[in-house]
Amino acid sequence: MSVTAPSRAFSQAEQSLVDRAAAALMRSAAGNSERQNALSMLKQEGLPSRRTEAWHYTDLRNLLGRVGSAGTGAPAGDADILAPLLPNGHVVEIGAATDVNPLAGVTVQQVDKLPEWKTALNHLDREFDTIRLLSVAFGAKATKIDVAAGETPGGSIELRAEPSASGSHTYAICDVGDEAKAVFVERLSATSAGSLATSVADLKIGDGAEVLWIVDQEKGAGETHLSQFNVTLGKDAKLLLFVLNAGGGLVRSEVHAITEGEGAEIRIRGVNLLKEGQHVDVTTTLNHLVPNTTATETFRNVVTGGQGVFQGMIRVSQDAQKTDAKMACNSLLLSDDGGFSAKPELEIFADDVQCGHGATAGEIDADHLFYLMSRGIPERQARALLVRAFVDEVVEEIDDEPVVEALEARIDRWLEAHG
């Protein structure tokens, strides 16, 4: 093994992360050179700090080991067999799935493939992509899932990681063929305190195909989770991505979308529920490369403590005329102890486009509260109704009753415990 020197003094948490990656590689039988390369880079460069623009609000070097490493992992009872999020869900364990044909039209294969980490998807990252680098250095396990062209599987595909105490590293490669319709659920559930997990998903949506992709992140308060969801959309392809962050200690959810075909439509909706001690970062880039594509993105954040971050970039290339892209990030601040930073950005090189963004942060509307209370609803309950209303508005934009119900049930669970 080649010895790589750190480019600077590493923090203790950083060093221990590197050591963990190195030890994991030693244990693994396969001598994978790509993994070795990534590890060398990690040993040399470590983690990004706030000086790297993409990580400015989430100084990984500084936060790792300080935020979200103590506390609980799985809440008691939750470690039991988890039912699929959606009534008709089929669980695919990434890196371990054995059922090659869980649903008609769906094929699942274990593949020996690692994410490509040498180019940063977010141009504001370092020379390489931080999350993918970690994913490769830790030897992510990969599974490829194909939905055949024209197929509409009779159930959702629920992606899960193999339980791992130190943290799982998964790579899902999903290919949805032309005119197919598929529903994916990424279930990121609590494991053990102190774990660091990564999940990378690459989704390709074929021409005229439609995907509903739901991320349900409910990690334990003592866990770190770094995820990256990459999607390319073909002609007239549709994506509805719903991200629920209702757990985790130190969390980064990256979303990078690229429209490759005209008529593509992206809808991103998300809810971030934050409590004391958490740091949750959602960073998205929407890259419009071709004309006539649309994107709408709305995040609603409920902050009872902790720190939230939203970085939303809409990038429209010179050819991408008639792009219509909007993003919004609204935070409900329920306590002075928490905060939420929103950084929307537009980078537009085409002249005939409609792009916009808005960020708001506020408390519960006193007039609304008075109205509800004047009908006899006690304050606590009235507040809960208003908080729920604030998030349900985005959930209900998913025009699918069982999905809305399932998500609202997860959200209610959180609100009852922390709201």
Partner 1 sequence: MLEIKNLHARVAETGTEILRGVDLTVKPGEIAAIMGPNGSGKSTLSYIISGREDYEVTEGDILYNGESILEMDPAERAAAGVFLAFQYPLEIPGVATMTFLRTALNSQRKARGEAELTTPEFMRRVKDAAGELKIDFNMLKRPLNVGFSGGEKKRAEILQMSLLEPKLCVMDETDSGLDIDALRIVADGVNALRAPERAFLVITHYQRLLEHIVPDTVHVLYKGRIIRTGGKELALELEANGYADVIGEAA
**Residue 372 lies near partner 1 (rule: CB under 8 A):** yes
Q: Report, in angstroms and rounded to the nearest whole number, the Rg of the chain calculated over CA atoms.
A: 21
Q: Which stretch binds partner 1 (CB under 8 A): 38-46, 47-55, 118-126, 387-395?
A: 387-395
360 lies in the site for partner 1, by CB under 8 A? no
DSSP secondary structure letter of residue 55? G
Which of residues 109, 371, 400, 405 is near partner 1 by CB under 8 A?
A: 371
Output 349 or 371, the one with its CB closest to partner 1.
Answer: 371
Q: Measure the CA–CA gap between 256 and 65, rounded to whole angstroms.
A: 27
With CB under 8 A as the rule, give the number of residues binding partner 1: 24
Q: Contacting partner 1 (CB under 8 A), which of 50, 118, 343, 368?
A: 368
The interaxial angle of helices 130-137 and 12-27, nearest 10 deg, is 40
Which of the stretches 82-90, 135-143, 196-204, 388-396 binds partner 1 when contact is defined by CB under 8 A? Answer: 388-396
Helix, strand, coil percentages, rounded to 5, for the chain: 20, 40, 40
Q: Is 379 in the site for partner 1 (CB under 8 A)?
A: yes
Q: Does 34 bind partner 1 (CB under 8 A)?
A: no
SS3 assignment, position 298 = strand
Neighbour tally for 416: CB within 10 Å:
9
E-state strands within 123-180: 141-147, 156-161, 169-176
Residues 394-413 that bind partner 1 (CB under 8 A): 396
The two beta strands, 279-288 and 238-245, are unpaired
With contact defined as beta carbons under 8 Å apart, do 216 and 187 qualify?
A: yes
Query: Which region among 34-42, 238-246, 284-292, 389-397 touches partner 1 (by CB under 8 A)?
Result: 389-397
- Judged by CB under 8 A, does residue 345 bind partner 1? no
By beta-carbon proximity to partner 1, the closer residue of 82 and 386 is 386
Between CA 294 and CA 296, with CA 295 as vertex, the angle to 5 degrees is: 135
Restricted to residues 177-206, the positions that interact with partner 1 (CB under 8 A) are none
Which 40-69 positions form the footprint of partner 1 (CB under 8 A)? none
Q: Is residue 310 a contact partner of residue 338, using CB atoms and an 8 Å limit? A: no
Q: Which residues contact partner 1 by CB under 8 A?
A: 366-368, 370-379, 381-382, 385-386, 388-393, 396
